[in-house]
């Protein structure tokens, strides 16, 4: 209840701004409609011009005038200039109108005013609507009012639940209305509407920019302002994204997920089936990614934003078969003990969630669905998802990822040994974005520092942009070359072909492979870890042997690839020890059965 009240109080100011703007737009339109029959009458100016009002970060202007006129044989006076009252800086209307009226006053020329025939004391110089001002107010109406109304609806609909209730003590996932049982729906429809909301918000905010930039560039020769065109260009891209999400939703519709067991189990299985409308094709591959994520807030004030970080992740190629509506996707993950549970109703800004992602590359539009699912430490196993249905055959999965890792490295053999080259340009798109964003920020910071003489702000703005630019350039143009000559494996890190670091690993000293993740990319709700594979010698010194492996299964395929190509094999004592220490699947299932039986009693 407290959370609903706080959310409602947070939403009220935004909703209030929207209501105020709605009243302002409506009153202007109503007045313009009522003035359509007002009579034009000549008037004589007594005073005219415009005033400027300077604030902390902008200057507004307001045209003013006083005049006299004769209507029906009687003298009247008026002061109203336009429909909008007060000062603004939307275009040059106020300043231009003030200058025009002042010129007429100086030259002692009469002007035309419009008089209400039913109330001759009411008059106005310009009864026309200012569409630019109405558009600006509409942005506040839609953005602030829409956001506030949406938050109020969420607050009113927010589920009431007492976490101390007995039913929630034994089944905490029931606090979430979406987790009352199967099926669980994806967030695709919500994402589609979110894409449209964000695209419309962005385009509404940036819509006036081309008109403002025209005056800045053409009239004032301020060519730096052309950078502002990036905003409407991004807006077009967001509209394309929203259209693609809409097409994806209309093509695939609802893809219900039935978990088995329900909820998903830490220390057991996260499994189930997803029914799609796609015609069954035995050659079609569906990739499922299960992620445990930490969601938290970074920054303060205007810089606050929600961030997600991968805590644990696994990926499989799913088993498919014919279903009631088309293709049925079946899967099962083995989830280790010790991971954090889902939080059905987060009580603070730092919480854990579990997300299942379904992807498949298809002609036209790819399928890409996310499901936020309950996963708790119940140590339960699937009742209906057998080993045969838990995923595609191991040979099929290995083939898919072996093909992927072979594309990462160029292999050459000169008769003396073998060379694996991991070239520049990996993660091309994300690095291009970093370079573009960093370059714009750095250039803007330099301009502010040099031309606007805002030393501190320009230094911070440009410094952050410079760091992003440098990081993007490094990631874009770095490369790794691994050369095997006899017993030696030489790993060389380069940037733009210039050697930066070189390390040597002797095959006779090799102990094990080690994978490490030093890069994670995020796109919406999807998070991908990229791995570097190193070889560790008997002194514990790691030597990078491969990089750019996307996800856990690709990293494992990378280890198989490097072991085969470089002739590296872990000593038998190490692998045997691992095999001896690892319980068999039979023992795991037996232990799970015993634990479930005990909990049932």
Same domain, 423 and 536: yes
pLDDT of res. 213: 63
- Judge whether residue 600 has pLDDT over 50: no
Q: Tell which of 347, 368, 403 closes a domain.
A: 403
Q: pLDDT tens, 379-428?
A: 888 888 777 666 666 667 777 777 778 888 888 888 788 999 999 887 77
For residue 372 the two structure tokens come to 């936020």
- Judge whether residue 38 has pLDDT over 90: yes
Same domain, 383 and 434: no
Averaged pLDDT for residues 438-451: 78
Q: Is residue 454 part of a domain?
A: yes
Q: Is residue 324 part of a domain?
A: yes
Q: Is residue 8 part of a domain?
A: yes
Q: Is residue 155 part of a domain?
A: no
For residue 471 the two structure tokens come to 């990081």
- Judge whether residue 450 has pLDDT over 90: no
pLDDT of res. 536: 93
For residue 160 the two structure tokens come to 């009431």
Q: Is residue 534 part of a domain?
A: yes
CATH of the domain at 215: 2.60.40.640
Same domain, 426 and 516: yes
Same domain, 293 and 198: yes
Same domain, 253 and 391: yes
d(CA 28, CA 32): 6
pLDDT of res. 443: 81
pLDDT of res. 440: 81
Same domain, 355 and 457: no
Q: Is residue 547 part of a domain?
A: yes
Q: Is residue 510 part of a domain?
A: yes
Q: Is residue 244 part of a domain?
A: yes
Same domain, 454 and 542: yes
Q: Tell which of 403, 433, 448 closes a domain.
A: 403
Give the model's confidence band at 226: pLDDT under 50 very low, under 70 low, under 90 confident, else very high.
Answer: low
- Judge whether residue 223 has pLDDT over 60: no
Q: Which residue has the higher pLDDT, 56 or 161?
A: 56
The length of the chain in residues reads 601
Number of domain units in the chain: 4
Place of tokens 């083995």: 334
Give the model's confidence band at 576: pLDDT under 50 very low, under 70 low, under 90 confident, else very high.
Answer: very low
pTM of the model: 0.56
pLDDT of res. 32: 87
Q: Tell which of 403, 426, 445 closes a domain.
A: 403
Averaged pLDDT for residues 481-503: 91
Give the model's confidence band at 5: pLDDT under 50 very low, under 70 low, under 90 confident, else very high.
Answer: low
pLDDT of res. 601: 42
Same domain, 360 and 246: yes
What does the H/E/C string look like for 63-119? EEEEEEEEECCEEEEECCCECCCCCECCCCHHHHHHHHHHHHHHCCCCEEEEECCCC
pLDDT of res. 434: 82
Same domain, 369 and 441: no
| Buried b / exposed e along 10-35 (16+ C-beta atoms within 10 A) | ebeebbebbeebbebbeebeeeeeeb
Same domain, 187 and 331: yes
pLDDT of res. 229: 67
Same domain, 243 and 351: yes
Strand partners, 417: 485
Averaged pLDDT for residues 503-511: 92
Find the Cα–Cα–Cα–Cα dihedral 113, 117, 119, 125, rounded to 10°.
Answer: -10
Averaged pLDDT for residues 296-300: 77
Q: pLDDT tens, 105-134?
A: 999 999 999 999 999 999 999 998 887 777
Give the model's confidence band at 589: pLDDT under 50 very low, under 70 low, under 90 confident, else very high.
Answer: very low
Place of tokens 């589920």: 159
Same domain, 118 and 14: yes
Give the model's confidence band at 87: pLDDT under 50 very low, under 70 low, under 90 confident, else very high.
Answer: confident
Domain that holds residue 486: 410-570
Share the mean pLDDT of the chain.
80
- Judge whether residue 573 has pLDDT over 70: no
């Amino acid at each position: 209840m407290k959370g609903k009240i706080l959310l409602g109080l947070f939403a009220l100011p935004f909703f209030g701004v929207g209501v105020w703007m709605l009243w302002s737009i409506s009153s202007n339109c109503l007045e313009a409609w009522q003035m359509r029959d007002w009579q034009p009458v000549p008037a004589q100016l007594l005073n005219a011009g415009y005033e400027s009002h300077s604030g902390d970060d902008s200057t507004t202007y307001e045209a003013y005038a006083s005049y006299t006129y004769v209507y029906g044989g009687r003298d009247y006076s008026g002061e109203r200039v336009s429909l909008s009252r007060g000062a603004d800086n939307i275009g040059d209307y106020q300043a231009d109108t003030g200058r025009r009226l002042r010129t007429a006053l100086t030259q002692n020329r009469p002007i035309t005013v419009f008089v209400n025939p039913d109330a001759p004391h009411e008059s106005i110089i310009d009864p026309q609507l200012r569409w630019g001002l109405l558009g600006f107010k509409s942005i506040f109406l839609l953005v602030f009012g829409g956001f506030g109304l949406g938050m109020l609806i969420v607050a009113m609909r927010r589920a009431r639940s007492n976490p101390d209730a007995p039913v929630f003590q034994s089944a905490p996932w029931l606090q979430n209305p979406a987790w009352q049982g199967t099926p669980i729906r994806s967030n695709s429809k919500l994402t589609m509407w979110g894409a449209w909301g964000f695209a419309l918000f962005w385009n509404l905010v940036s819509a006036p920019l081309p008109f403002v930039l025209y005056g800045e560039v053409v009239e004032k020769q301020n060519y730096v302002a052309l950078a502002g065109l990036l905003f409407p260009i991004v807006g077009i891209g967001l509209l394309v994204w929203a259209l693609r999400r809409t097409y994806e939703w209309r093509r695939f519709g609802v893809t219900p997920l039935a978990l088995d067991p329900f909820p998903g189990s830490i220390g057991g299985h996260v499994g189930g089936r997803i029914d799609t409308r796609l015609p069954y094709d035995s050659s079609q591959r569906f990739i499922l990614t299960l992620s445990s994520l930490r969601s938290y807030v970074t920054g303060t004030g205007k810089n606050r934003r929600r961030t997600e970080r991968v805590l644990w992740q696994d990926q499989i190629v799913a088993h498919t078969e014919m279903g009631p509506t088309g293709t049925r996707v079946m899967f099962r993950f083995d989830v280790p003990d010790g991971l954090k549970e889902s939080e059905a109703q987060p009580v603070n800004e730092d919480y854990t969630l579990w997300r299942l992602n379904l992807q498949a590359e298809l002609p036209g539009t790819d399928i890409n669905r996310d499901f936020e699912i309950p996963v708790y430490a119940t140590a339960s196993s699937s009742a209906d998802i057998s080993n045969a249905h838990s995923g595609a055959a191991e040979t099929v999965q290995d083939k898919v990822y072996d093909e992927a890792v072979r594309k990462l490295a160029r292999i050459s053999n000169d008769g003396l040994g073998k060379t694996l080259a991991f070239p520049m340009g990996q993660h091309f798109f994300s690095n291009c974005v970093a370079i573009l964003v960093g370059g714009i920020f750095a250039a803007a910071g330099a301009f502010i520092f040099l031309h606007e003489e805002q030393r501190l702000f320009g230094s911070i703005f440009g410094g952050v942009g410079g760091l992003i630019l440098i990081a993007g350039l490094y990631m874009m143009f770095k490369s790794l070359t691994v050369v095997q000559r006899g017993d030696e494996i030489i790993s060389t890190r380069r940037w733009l072909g210039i050697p930066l670091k070189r390390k040597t690993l002797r095959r006779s000293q090799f102990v094990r492979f080690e994978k490490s993740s030093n890069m994670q990319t995020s796109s919406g709700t999807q998070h991908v870890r990229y791995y570097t594979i190193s070889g560790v010698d008997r002194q514990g010194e790691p030597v990078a042997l491969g990089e750019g492996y996307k996800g856990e299964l690709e990293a494992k395929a990378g280890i198989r690839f490097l072991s085969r190509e470089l002739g590296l094999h872990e000593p038998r004592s190490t692998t045997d020890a691992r095999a001896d220490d690892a319980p068999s699947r039979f023992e795991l299932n037996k232990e799970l059965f015993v634990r479930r039986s005990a909990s049932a009693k």
